[in-house]
Structure 1
Amino acid sequence: MEQGTYLQGKYQLVEKKNLAKNTYDFTIAAKEMAELAEAGQFVHLRVEGFMLRRPISICEIDRSAGTLRIVFEVRGEGTKQLAKINEGEFVDVLGPLGRGFTLLPANQSVIAVGGGIGVPPMLETAKHYQKNATVIIGFRSANAVILNDDFKACGNDVMLCTDDGTMGAKGFVTQALHKRLMEGHADMIYACGPHAMLKGVVELANEFGVPCEVSLEERMGCGVGACLVCACKTVKNGEEYYAHVCKDGPVFPAEEVIFE
């Protein structure tokens, strides 16, 4: 898809679920948008009463049904308002936006690492590889766990971690990633989550010599690269520069990101 091809319109919310405390799952009927969308991209939603749109990662793309699935956490007044939209109502969506993940042939062995609300964009990515993807997902505790069964339904090998050990293995995703890398080769690592987690994932990717792509989360203004709200420090050909997460990302090759 040509970078920068996106649509804007009002699309119907066809299914709404509450996955965990303050975490909502929307399926939106947007046939043309689903045709264009790629794993790792995002949509920008207009919320009644708020000037700035809210960027939310695409969790799943169903081209045959003509739907996009998004999963988001209520973090402020905007997402609180968004969560009040009901099935049958319409959502103002701009998308698909940004640069997604680079998908390799499906028989390659990959690792997808997600932390907290960085887990949803991993689903469409891991689905492509089915049994050839190891999915490592981490949450604060059992009551925050989402999409575990969805990954398993895709045939992925799932390693679940919680900070407090209430579900899965106790510890961080980086510990599980180290264990998986010790066990065998991987052709690519994909990651999305908190900054500290991404830094740790990239260090391990470097240590084991595995290519890595990271999806960055930043506050956004316009979503199409016209404002400078979501600038992040990157490096290309030895030159440091500020990239736009919304347009140049949200996915970047790990070696281009400067983790302060």
Structure 2
Amino acid sequence: MKYLQEICPILSKKQLTKLAFDVTVSAPQMAALAKTGQFAQITCDGFFLRRPISICDFDKEKGTLRFVFEVRGEGTEWMSTVKEGETLDIVGPLGRGFEIVDREGRAVFVGGGIGTPPLLSGAKMYGKNATAILGFRTAKAVILTDDFAAAGAKVMLSTDDGTAGHCGLVCDLLLERLENGSCDVIYACGPKPMLKAVAAIAAERDIPCKVSLEERMACGVGACVGCAVKTRTPKGEERYAQVCKNGPVFDAKEVVW
């Protein structure tokens, strides 16, 4: 796995919701290597461990990486205070991302909460052949729907409390989408219960499904074994894999839910 360390100038910084922030940095070498679904490790002032943040989008021509994250602790709270013109110390791109093969196929992207950002660059590749099913707790937490729509994707929105879109779960909308048209592949990122449900729906319909797992990480490069999850080999043998090194993206059939 090839990765780099760069001191990256912050080109733009926006606040999307009370807790969600959008930061774009100049990182030409990392942008050249980046793939959909990968992540980076970012140094936060005053903290020994870097924070793993999914890559929301990348532009290889402009040499930029975009990160959309939520404040979840002291490290990401510090990140929320950075300003345009400052720099971030970033290691990346890390991990195994989504393999985007047939862009002419019909793809469904299922995102839950802050699991939504790493799906955006993939939806851009599929354009009008993509459906983005995005779920959030409430309307005030909704992010990136305009970005997915601008990419050409059909956007289906759900909220737990019904304040925006469908009142209920993303899986309700996924079933609706599959009942109304063919689907060649499902990409998903979000809370584990959501991923488990999406994987079950895909398995019932024999649709290839790739999931991006969220686990606490320390090193981000496979050295500390702190992000191990149980997986299954093609022969049915169970083993542990590291989300940072072997993932974060796995075939849904590999994961022992």
1-side partners of 2:119 and 2:165: how far apart?
18
RMSD of Structure 2 on Structure 1 (CA): 0.7
2-side partners of 1:81 and 1:128: how far apart?
32
Residue 250 of structure 2: aligned partner:
252
Residue 5 of structure 1: aligned partner:
2
1-side partners of 2:103 and 2:113: how far apart?
26
Once the two structures are TM-superposed, the CA of residue 164 in structure 1 deviates from its matched residue by 0.9
**Aligned match of 1:26 in 23, 38, 44?**
23
Q: In the alignment, is residue 48 of structure 1 matched against residue 45 of structure 2?
A: yes
Q: In the alignment, is residue 171 of structure 1 matched against residue 172 of structure 2?
A: no
Q: TM-score, normalised by structure 1?
A: 0.97
Q: In the alignment, is residue 81 of structure 1 matched against residue 94 of structure 2?
A: no
Letter matched to residue 242 of structure 1: Y
Q: In the alignment, is residue 149 of structure 1 matched against residue 140 of structure 2?
A: no
Once the two structures are TM-superposed, the CA of residue 84 in structure 1 deviates from its matched residue by 1.1
Residue 224 of structure 1: aligned partner:
221
Letter matched to residue 102 of structure 2: P
Quick check: 1:181–1:208 contact (8 Å CA) kept in 2? no
Quick check: 2:6–2:27 contact (8 Å CA) kept in 1? no
Residue 195 of structure 2: aligned partner:
198
Q: TM-score, normalised by structure 2?
A: 0.98
Once the two structures are TM-superposed, the CA of residue 105 in structure 1 deviates from its matched residue by 2.1
Letter matched to residue 255 of structure 1: K
Letter matched to residue 254 of structure 2: E
Aligned ranges 1:48-127 → 2 under 5 Å: 48-127=45-124
1-side partners of 2:170 and 2:217: how far apart?
27
Structure 1 unaligned runs (5+)? none
Structure 2 unaligned runs (5+)? none
2-side partners of 1:106 and 1:194: how far apart?
26
1-side partners of 2:47 and 2:212: how far apart?
26
2-side partners of 1:102 and 1:199: how far apart?
20
1-side partners of 2:28 and 2:6: how far apart?
12
Moved over 4 A (4+): none
Q: How many residues align?
A: 256
Q: In the alignment, is residue 159 of structure 1 matched against residue 156 of structure 2?
A: yes
2-side partners of 1:160 and 1:5: how far apart?
36
| Residue-by-residue CA offset, 1:160-218 (whole Å, 9 max, x unaligned) | 11111111111110000011111121110000000110010001001111000000010
